[in-house]
Homo-oligomer: A and B are copies of this chain.
Amino acid sequence: MPDTLIKVDLAQSPYENENIHNRWHPDIPMACWVNPGDDFVLETYDWTGGYIKNNDSADDVRDVDLSTVHFLSGPVGVKGAEPGDLLVVDLLDIGAKPDSLWGFNGFFSKKNGGGFLTEHFPLAQKSIWDFNGMFTKSRHIPGVEFAGLIHPGLIGCLPDRKMLDTWNEREVDFIATQPDRVPPLANPPFAKTAHMGKMKGDAAAKAAAEGARTVPPREHGGNCDIKDLSRGSKVFFPVYVDGAGLSVGDLHFSQGDGEITFCGAIEMAGWVHMRVSLIKGGMAKYGIRNPIFKPSPITPNYKDYLIFEGISVDEQGRQHYLDVHVAYRQACLNAIEYLKKFGYSGAQAYSILGTAPVQGHISGVVDIPNACATLWLPTEIFEFDINPGANGPVKMISGAVDMPISPDL
């Protein structure tokens, strides 16, 4: 049985666990060390460290302090790893904590983070998903059950000083272009809620003041929220510091491409079983700037899709230039309208797109002025037939159940 190198107690605050951290900084001490070739287990909190509860109120989603996220397990030092290497990580298996077989999905209030469709769904809403072995379903969204494509939303190695400075400079300058935007353009360092792992005292305070927030994906990978980085996949990470410093967290039981609901996928506490090795000097050898990976041989194998198109003309009819973000939003809105014809509320339909193994494809990005994006909705996750037909849709969902919603205070 592989060693569990980092344990988490869901009843304990993540701030009390020194093998957890919530900022990126090169000086965070390694939580533990392994050798190339080792396999081991890391337990993780959910990304909010347990703030969101298994209940029928969205108040916690409305009120969560997003400066606290993401609580990561690590960093794990890999002996012999040096800057310029590739750290090869085999995700041998991933699972939920046995005492926490559920996850949450939701949308933030526009005033507290928002999300992809925040103009359409500006208030906090939540759904709870129960795990039944390899499958999940929600008491808040009837008629849908599917196999999870379990993956870490966030995984990557520590940045070096130069990369950290690049990040901070780039993002702080960017925030300055619209400093009062709601939701904000980006999140600057924020010392007050930083958790710097084993760092203590002045060193910790200094690092906390400059530690990069964990929200965006960056050169090292990080919060990529790539649903296909699932258990069974093999990832090649750039190494920037001696020992690499691999951290992981933000586990998802399942997610659609884009993680459009932002809060988030189906978020869970759990564990990751992984094996590490090194390709010495691999970054230069292969010209690597961002992580690359190979998908798992074991993934939910849905095949029958209904595919929605969207183009880069927005809800007000305004033209955008080859803008895939706008095009994908239109494809998502089209899918939501479609699902509403079967009885779902808009919020339920939105949540399905955020949680199920939906694919989002960049279908055309050259045919000026319109990008074309497609959203692939697997039809097999529904307990009824959602294909179009001559007789029109049958309203299969009564509307008796909806997702909890919490008005802004």
Contact = CB atoms under 8 A, between A and B. Distances in A.
Interface of A: 1-2, 39, 86, 90-93, 98-99, 101, 115-116, 132-135, 146-147, 166, 170-171, 173-174, 183-187, 215-219, 221, 223-228, 231-232, 236, 257-262, 264, 273, 275, 279-282, 285-311, 313, 317-319, 321-325, 328, 330-331, 334, 337-338, 340-341, 359-374, 376, 380, 385, 387-390, 392-393
Which of A292, A310, A373: most chain B Cβ within 10 A? A292
Contact of A392 (B101, B286, B330): B286
A332 to B, nearest CB: 10
A53 B340 CA distance: 49
A260 B366 contact: yes
A306 to B, nearest CB: 6
Give 5 nearest A-B pairs by CB, closest first: A92-B133, A93-B133, A360-B362, A324-B324, A287-B337
A221 B367 CA distance: 12
A90 B116 CA distance: 34
B99 A217 contact: no
B231 A134 contact: yes
Contact of A186 (B319, B362, B387): B319
A225 B363 contact: yes
12 contacts: A1-B99, A91-B133, A92-B134, A93-B134, A184-B368, A217-B311, A264-B366, A282-B392, A291-B309, A292-B309, A360-B361, A385-B385
Given A224-B309, A225-B363, A289-B334, 6 more contacts: A92-B134, A135-B232, A217-B309, A226-B364, A257-B362, A298-B299
Nearest to A172: B319
Contact of A393 (B1, B135, B258, B286): B286
A361 B258 CA distance: 9
A365 B224 CA distance: 9
B359 A361 contact: yes
A323 B323 CA distance: 7
Contacts of A322: 325
Contacts of A300: 297-298
A319 to B, nearest CB: 4
Contact of A1 (B39, B101, B226, B273): B101
Contact of A368 (B99, B101, B216, B337): B216
A335 to B, nearest CB: 9
A174 B225 CA distance: 34
Contacts of A219: 311, 313
A62 to B, nearest CB: 17
Contacts of A304: 294, 303-304, 380
A147 to B, nearest CB: 5
Nearest to A178: B321
B232 A134 contact: yes
A171 B321 CA distance: 10
A366 B329 CA distance: 12
Contacts of A306: 292-294
A216 to B, nearest CB: 4
A225 B289 contact: no
Contacts of A225: 363-364, 366-367, 372
A147 B298 CA distance: 7
B286 A307 contact: no
A173 B319 contact: yes
A173 B317 CA distance: 12
A116 B364 CA distance: 10
Contacts of A227: 363
A188 B152 CA distance: 46
Given A134-B93, A257-B363, A324 B328 contact: yes
Contacts of A324: 323-325, 328, 362, 373
